[in-house]
Amino acid sequence: MKQNDVIAVIIIVLFILLAGIGYGIYHLVSVARQNMHGTVTGSSESSSELDDDRTAARTLSQ
C-alpha cells in the first residue's frame, strides 16, 4: 500500500468513528430529555399532593 492510501484509510476510519460517537451522544441526549420530561411531570404531581396533605393537616388542626 502506498503512504497516501494508508492516510486515506485512516481518515475514513476516523470519520466513521466520529460519526458513531456523534450518533451516540445524540441518542443519549434524546433519551435524557425524554426521561427529564417525565421527571418534571412526576415532581409537579407530587408537589401538588404535598400541598393537598398540608391543607388537610391545617384543616384537622383547626
**For the segment 4-58, what is each residue's pLDDT rounded down to a tens digit?**
999 999 999 999 999 999 999 999 999 999 888 765 554 444 555 556 666 666 6
- In a domain, residue 10? The reply is no
Evaluate whether residue 2 is within a structural domain: no
Number of domains present in the structure of the chain: 1
d(CA 6, CA 26) in angstroms, rounded, equals 30
Does residue 36 fall inside a structural domain?
yes
Query: Is pTM beyond 0.75 here?
Result: no
Own/partner pairs, 49-52, CB within 8 angstroms, 24+ separation = none
Q: Confirm whether 43 is domain-assigned.
A: yes
DSSP label of 2: -
